Amino acid sequence: MSGIGRQAIVIGASMGGLLAARALADFYDTVTVLERDHFPVTDEPRKGVPQGRHAHGLLARGREVIEDFFPGWTDEVVADGGVRGDIAGDVRWFGHGVALKTAPSDLLGVLASRPVLEGQVRRRLLKLPNVRAIAGCAVQGLVGSEDRSTILGVRVKVENGAEQMMPADLVVDASGRGSASPAWLEMLGYARPEEEKIEIGIGYTTRLYRRKPADLGGKVAIVVAGSGPNWRNGVILYHSEDRWIVSIGGYLGDHAPDDAQMFSAYAGSLPTREIYDIVAHAEPLGDFVSYRYPANLRRRYERLAQFPKNYLVFGDAVCSFNPVYGQGMTVAAEEAVLLQRALREGTSDLARRFFGLASVAVDTPWDIAVGNDLRHPQVVGARPAKVRFINWYIGKLHQAARYDAQLATAFLRVANLKAPPPSLLYPAIAARVIWGNLRPRGAKEAAQPSAQVS
């Protein structure tokens, strides 16, 4: 692919920054990733990814995109200790207080620790001849043109050395939720983006446990979404061949304790005993670690009337979601695809075009996360009729999907960003939801109306 610039800089080497760099590598002679941290020699958590010690899921759509960018990546993750799994058939899903029926599907996922997922992407990225990374590099700010209309590069300090200017034809801020872009823009005379925030006070506690092949009846994961009356959530995921990772927690300060007996009791309050059975009886393989996440946060860069040339904001720096839905890495992957689409049309008006595309891509996961969080009666936020209807309907869908694997898979396709939410309102799906809520107790699944879910 022909180049459109000499040097692109990406701020941040977490998953979003790595995928942004991969997108840019097809268009720029050199792509430089700047990271404040130092990269670990082995795949282990690092300071700049505080959630790296906790359970992580990569949605089906995210795995597909990364595999397209780095063919063979899934095999490499598996070789590094991960496992492939059928997201609908090998995982037990609990939502609205009930378990969805499991059955084979085409939703292929991969489970591994966050450091393994990120490490395999980083290694593949840095094998590209035109990509490099500078660790221990702190970005101090942007360098603008004299009229402040164009970003010319960034000011950096490497290993606490003297500040220096690093020029670039394009700078992409993928530094995460704590991005300094709003402040940097303000210093250059631009408006800060509008922010939408839904306070949820999510916190969860995590511990590793010894895994045995017979655990969980051969399933590789159990996922429990928060529902009334206690709104607690939890996951147990395959972490490596001999380890489970368990993360459990709740909203608005109702966080799991870091005491073994109390942690077990908290796990016992979930709507399935399977997580409790592991926590109470399996050998623990480390200390407890905790993570706090105050709010869903979206910055509306697409609404700014003016924005400097040669600058973009990407990934969690644009929008970060309640992490229990596992959407962040997949949304970053989608944005990388959209960044490539925008760059194919050149760099003219790039920010407006990219932010417009990214906004549409963010809408669905934002609506999923925020809409579900607003089911909690104490979470503050507007609940228009559309949100109330969707939450009511999804609850009815879950009731029917206890017995109907086609409905369960249809829901999981949406949750994995493989299908648009309106697909759950297609007549064939709606008919199954209605029948599933009218069916007499003990009715056979075969009594369901026939429909092909696509």
pLDDT in tens, 189-211: 999 999 999 999 999 999 999 99
Q: What pTM, to 2 d.p., does this model score?
A: 0.93
How confident is the model at residue 442, as a pLDDT? 56
| Residue range 216-238: mean pLDDT, rounded | 95
Q: How do residues 292-307 score in pLDDT, each as one tens digit?
A: 999 999 999 999 999 9
**What domains can you pick out in the chain, each with its CATH number?**
5-53+70-82+114-195+299-368 (3.50.50.60), 385-447 (no CATH)
How confident is the model at residue 119, as a pLDDT? 95
| Residue range 351-367: mean pLDDT, rounded | 96
Q: How confident is the model at residue 441 (pLDDT cuts 50, 70, 90)?
A: low
Q: How do residues 362-371 score in pLDDT, each as one tens digit?
A: 999 999 999 9
| Residue range 99-115: mean pLDDT, rounded | 95
| Residue range 246-253: mean pLDDT, rounded | 96
Q: What is the 3-state secondary structure (H, E, C) of the chain?
A: CCCCEEEEEEECCCHHHHHHHHHHCCCEEEEEEEECCCCCCCCCCCCCCHHHHCCCCECHHHHHHHHHHCCCHHHHHHHCCCEEEECCCCEEEEECCEECCCCCCCCEEEECCHHHHHHHHHHHHHCCCCEEEEECEEEEEEEECCCCCEEEEEEEEECCCCCEEEECCEEEECCCCCCCHHHHHHHCCCCCCEEEEEEEEEEEEEEEEECCCCHHHHCCEEEECCCCCCCEEEEEEEEECCEEEEEEEECCCCCCCCCHHHHHHHHCCCCCCHHHHHHHHCCECCCCEEEEEEEEEEEEHHHCCCCCECEEECHHHCEECCHHHCCHHHHHHHHHHHHHHHHCCCCCCHHHHHHHHHHHHHHHHHHHHHHHHCCCCCCCCCCCHHHHHHHHHHHHHHHHHCCCHHHHHHHHHHHCCCCCHHHHHCHHHHHHHHHHHHCCCCCCHHHCCCCCCC
Q: How confident is the model at residue 451 (pLDDT cuts 50, 70, 90)?
A: very low
pLDDT at 2 over 60: no
